[in-house]
């Protein structure tokens, strides 16, 4: 096949990934746990173009800027190396993530690119191999290959992939508080944290413990334990990031207000827990039956969107190039 299309969704981590022990292989210092969402898909088409001198990349119909295009080319180089091909490609990506939603698009983007490029260059990759490949584009993309709850293992190149986990059912409420672009990318901020935070070693060892506890909560189907660990781990990550030199603060007053509100709702008997990635927006988790009420309570703070567990990265084209959705991972969602 010289042309293939794939679709993938973003994921939100409950136990966060923050820090690489190998920046070229993108090996994390600790494992992480996330939920792949059912909303904000990225659909990517890869067409081999043996006559082209360079790869081209468009995002939502607009030619990509230099840095994203370079990241796409570096990623395709890995695929070409494995496929023994020198053919350049045209990569067209459509992202449903509103650019101002404050959600990272790289996880869905590189998961979709891994599946589409792998197929276009004729590689036979199972979910584990695709997760390892997607990881090389953006660490968190390893998890978007997988449906629903996914654990991404720390380890060497062969062991560092994501796989499905069974756990309690829950829903996420995305609370958009601030639409401005972040000033320090997660990639740069991770490096600065690793080099300058006096708390970095403690972060690595405590994250491994938090992941073990979160996986135990999943096995026990214990939403309360998983929720408490989620909020604790998010606040620890932000404390770590703030301890970099110079400090990096992603949370804004409105984000802190959202964490306070979530705590109040819990005290009033409505169970929910907050987390936040490398930005000011907050994601709240709640039992499915409470999600609408939690979203209503949070609506005074910002725009809310209720999202659930979604599918893993999916190939949309078959050998004949027809659209025929083929699931790569079975849904072990939620």
Comparing CA positions, the residue from 139, 184, 162, 165 lying closest to residue 29 is 139
- Residues 21-60, one symbol each (x = binds ligand PMV by CB under 6 A, - = not), give -----------x----------------------------
> With CB under 6 A as the contact rule, which of the stretches 10-18, 58-66, 116-124, 192-200 interacts with ligand PMV?
10-18
- Integer angstrom CA distances of residue 3 from 47, 168, 186: 4, 39, 32
Q: Which is nearer to ligand PMV, 17 or 259 (CB)?
A: 17
Q: Is 17 one of the binding residues for ligand PMV (CB under 6 A)?
A: yes
SS3 99: coil
* 192 binds ligand PMV per the rule CB under 6 A: no
Residue with tokens 């709640």: 286
Residue whose entry in the numeric block shows the structure tokens 């901020």: 189
Does residue 135 touch ligand PMV according to CB under 6 A?
no
Question: In the set 4, 8, 10, 16, which binds ligand PMV (CB under 6 A)?
Answer: 16
Select 191 or 306, whichever has its Cβ closest to ligand PMV.
Answer: 191
User: Maximum CA pair distance of the chain?
Assistant: 64
C-alpha dihedral sign at 35, 79, 20, 159:
positive
Cβ neighbours of 268 (radius 10 Å): 8
Residue 13 binding ligand PMV, by CB under 6 A: yes
Q: Does 255 bind ligand PMV (CB under 6 A)?
A: no
State the nearest-atom distance from the C-beta of 10 to ligand PMV, in Å. 9
**Cα dihedral angle (83, 9, 150, 138), rounded to 10 degrees?**
50
H or E element at residue 169:
none
Out of 187, 192, 252, 287, name the contact with ligand PMV by CB under 6 A.
Answer: 187
Phi/psi class of residue 78: alpha, beta or left (left: φ > 0; alpha: ψ in -120 to 50)? alpha
Decide if residue 280 touches ligand PMV (CB under 6 A).
Answer: no
**Residues with Cβ within 8 Å of residue 300, at least 6 apart in sequence:** none
Task: Give the binding range for ligand PMV (CB under 6 A) out of 9-17, 41-49, 164-172, 304-312.
Answer: 9-17
Between 59 and 120, name the residue whose CB sits nearer to ligand PMV.
59
Q: Within 283-322, which residues bind ligand PMV (CB under 6 A)? A: none
Nearer to ligand PMV, 262 or 278 (CB): 278
Quick one: which of 138, 171, 193, 197 contacts ligand PMV (CB under 6 A)? 138
Q: Residues touching ligand PMV: how many (CB under 6 A)?
A: 13
Taking the complex as a whole, the smallest distance from the CB of residue 279 to ligand PMV amounts, in Å, to 8
Find the binder of ligand PMV among 97, 104, 114, 175 (CB under 6 A).
104
Alpha-carbon distance of 157 to 17, in angstroms, equals 16
The answer to the question of residue 139 lying near ligand PMV (CB under 6 A) is yes
Which among 138-146, 292-300, 312-320, 326-334 is the span making contact with ligand PMV, rule CB under 6 A? 138-146
CA distance 77 to 84: 10
Identify any residues that bridge with 173 across adjacent strands, giving them in sequence order: 284, 306
Long-range pairs, 95-100, Cβ under 8 A, ≥24: 95/40, 95/41, 95/42, 95/59, 95/60, 96/39, 96/40, 96/41, 96/42, 97/10, 97/40, 97/42, 100/176, 100/179
Contacts to ligand PMV by CB under 6 A? 13, 16-17, 32, 104, 106, 138-140, 186-187, 277-278
């Amino acid at each position: 096949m010289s042309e293939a299309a794939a679709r993938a969704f973003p994921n939100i981590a409950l136990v966060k990934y923050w820090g690489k022990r190998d920046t070229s292989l993108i090996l994390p210092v600790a494992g992480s746990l996330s939920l792949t969402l059912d909303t904000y898909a990225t659909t990517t088409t890869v067409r081999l173009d043996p006559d082209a001198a360079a790869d081209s990349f468009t995002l939502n119909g607009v030619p990509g800027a230099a840095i994203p295009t370079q990241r796409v080319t570096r990623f395709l180089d890995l695929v070409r190396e494995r496929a023994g091909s020198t053919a350049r490609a045209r990569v067209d990506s459509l992202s449903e993530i509103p650019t101002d939603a404050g959600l990272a698009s790289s996880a869905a983007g590189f998961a979709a690119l891994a599946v589409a490029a792998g197929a276009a260059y004729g590689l036979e990759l199972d979910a584990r191999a695709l997760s390892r490949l997607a990881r090389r584009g953006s660490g968190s993309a390893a998890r978007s290959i997988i449906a629903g709850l996914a654990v991404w293992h720390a380890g060497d190149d062969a062991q560092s992939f994501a796989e499905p986990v069974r756990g309690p059912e829950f829903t996420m409420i995305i609370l958009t508080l601030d639409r401005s672009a972040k000033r320090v990318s997660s990639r740069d901020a991770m490096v600065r944290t690793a080099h300058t935070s006096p708390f970095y070693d403690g972060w690595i060892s405590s994250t491994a413990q938090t992941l073990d506890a979160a996986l135990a909560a999943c096995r026990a189907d214990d939403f309360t334990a998983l929720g408490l660990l989620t909020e604790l781990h998010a606040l620890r990550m932000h404390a770590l990031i703030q301890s970099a030199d110079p400090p990096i603060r992603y949370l804004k007053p409105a984000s802190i207000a959202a964490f306070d509100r979530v705590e109040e709702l819990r005290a009033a008997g409505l169970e929910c827990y907050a987390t936040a990635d490398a930005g000011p927006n907050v994601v709240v988790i709640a039992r499915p039956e409470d999600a609408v009420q939690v979203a209503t309570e949070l609506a005074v703070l910002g725009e809310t969107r209720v999202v659930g567990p979604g599918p893993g990265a999916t190939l949309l084209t078959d050998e004949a190039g027809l659209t025929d959705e083929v699931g790569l991972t079975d849904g072990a969602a939620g």
